Structure 1
Amino acid sequence: MESLYVALVLFSALLHASWNALLHQSRDKLWQTGMMAVPCGLAGLAGVLLLPAPAAASWPYIGASALLELGYSLALIRAYRSGDFGRVYPVARGMSPLLVTLGAWAFGGERPGLVVAGGILMVSAGIVSLAYRRRGLAASGGMGAAVLTGCFIASYTVVDGIGVRLAGDPFAYIAWVYLLFNLPLLALVLRAGGDPRPRLADRRAVLTGMLGGVVSLCAYGLVISALRVLPMGQVSALRELSSLFGVLLGWLWLGEKPTPLRVAACVLMVGGVLMLRM
């Protein structure tokens, strides 16, 4: 059973890297994020109407998760506006496994063994190494926003890891989080973006954004399902292998040629995953 959930998280990582690449490639990242919020919000509304309400104990976590997801989206937009996908994405994602492990230990009572902790450390080190250049990380644009994004990722992962275990129905939990998170996000995008009619006329941009939203929703649902069974730190480390897929997408899709350092970082990540599975 655990192997099935590991496979689902890895597939979620591939989906996550895909929609992040779509967002980074967009000329108007704010509008793209707004379009992503449309199918996510509609799916949340359908779930709220059709599914039983989550258990009362999970509601504080639902509210906290929605706020953190909103902050994450805004920080991610800012990071991608000022930095390269190949630099911003690894830093944002690489921080979270370590932070999630600490949060799960402090708030969820999860204490990983030495082998698992070593595997999480290797995955995080490999991911962050992807962003390194000869001038160092500090010289890369968007690093401040990328670090903030990583903090939001870790925070909502720990909140979701606790909340979904209290909710009873994981899909009801997802529905309420996505409804409460995506409606304000869409409202903010429409307010900040000015007249939406010229943008709505660009059908390709609208459809691409909505496709990204569907992919994002599927990725989130797989992770939430896994959080009910697997330790939070391990789920986070496996999910952040999206950076490994991000390297492949950056190479094959965005024309970002992998360097020897990136190849070594990918090997380090794979070694960390093998330790997790031990």
Structure 2
Amino acid sequence: METLVVLLVLLSALLHATWNAFLHLSEDRIWLLGMMAMPYIAVSAVGVIVLPMPAPAAWPYIFASVVLEFGYLLALIRAYKSGDFGQIYPIARGLSPMLVFVGALVFAHEALKPLAAIGVALVSLGIVSLAFRRGMRFSGESVPFALLTGFFIATYSVVDGIGARLAGNGLSYIMWVYLIWNIPQFLLAWHWRGGAKGLFIGRAMVLKGIAAGLLALSAYCLIIEAYRYLPIAMVSALREMSSIFAVLIGWLFMREKLTARRIVACALVTLGAVLIRV
């Protein structure tokens, strides 16, 4: 069972890197997020009807997660405004495994075995080093927002890890989070783009936005279920294998360079993931 859960987390990582690439390439990120909200609303509306209600103890975590998700998206949009995908994504994702490790230890009382803890550290180190430029310096005015994004990722990961367990049903928990979060997100995009005429600008574009939403929805549903079977810090670190997928996507489709330094960084992340799994 554990091996299957790990494979599902890695699938989630691939899906996550893919929808982030859609967001980075979009010329209108507000519009894309509005389109992405549509499958979230449709699926979560069905989910809250057919799934059992979350336990009362989970509701503070549901509302906290909604607020943190909004903060995460605002920081991510600003980070992608002027930064390279291959730099911003690793910075944002690389901080979270270590922050989640600390948060899970303090708030969920989860302590990893030494080998797994070393693996988490290697994953974080490898991911952040993917963003280094010549001279081992960060570049770009978007970096502070990428760091802020990483903070939001770590915070909502710990909140969701605890909340999903308290809810009694992980999918029910995340359906309510997504419903409460995405209705105002869609309405804001609708308002900012002047209603249907500005939001539904062409069938192909709309389908692209909906596809990105389905990828994002599927990715995090897999993570929420994984939280029920594996330690929060372990799931968080394994899902950040998405940074390797992001580097490959940037290289294959965005003409970003795949340097020797980045190859070494990917090797560090992979080694960390192996240690976590062992």
Q: Take 2:192 and 2:117, find their aligned partners in 1: how far apart are those partners? A: 43
TM-score (ref. length: structure 2): 0.97
Q: Match for residue 275 of structure 2?
A: 275
TM-score (ref. length: structure 1): 0.97
Q: Take 2:39 and 2:209, find their aligned partners in 1: how far apart are those partners? A: 9
Q: Is the 8 A contact 1:137 1:143 kept in 2?
A: no
State whether structure 2 residue 208 is matched by structure 1 residue 204: no
- State the shift of 1:206 in Å: 1.3
The 3-state SS of whatever aligns with 1:149 is: helix
Q: Is the 8 A contact 2:48 2:175 kept in 1?
A: yes
State whether structure 2 residue 216 is matched by structure 1 residue 216: yes
State whether structure 2 residue 4 is matched by structure 1 residue 15: no
For residue 159 of structure 1, what is the amino acid of its counterpart? V
Q: Match for residue 168 of structure 1?
A: 168
Q: Please, which runs of 5 or more residues in structure 2 have no aligned partner?
A: none
Q: Take 2:48 and 2:74, find their aligned partners in 1: how far apart are those partners? A: 25
Which range moved further: 136-145 or 255-264?
A: 136-145
Aligned residues: 278
Q: Match for residue 236 of structure 1?
A: 236
State whether structure 2 residue 48 is matched by structure 1 residue 45: no
Q: Is the 8 A contact 1:115 1:275 kept in 2?
A: yes
Q: Take 1:135 and 1:38, find their aligned partners in 2: how far apart are those partners? A: 43
State whether structure 2 residue 109 is matched by structure 1 residue 93: no
Q: Please, which runs of 5 or more residues in structure 1 have no aligned partner?
A: none
Runs of 4+, deviation exceeding 6 Å: none
Q: Match for residue 82 of structure 1?
A: 82
Q: Match for residue 256 of structure 2?
A: 256
The 3-state SS of whatever aligns with 1:37 is: helix
Q: Match for residue 4 of structure 2?
A: 4
Post-superposition CA distance 1:113-166 (Å, at most 9, x none)? 221111000000110011100155442231011011111100110001000011
Q: Percent identity?
A: 52
The 3-state SS of whatever aligns with 1:255 is: coil
Q: Match for residue 110 of structure 2?
A: 110
Q: Match for residue 179 of structure 1?
A: 179
Q: Take 1:235 and 1:181, find their aligned partners in 2: how far apart are those partners? A: 23
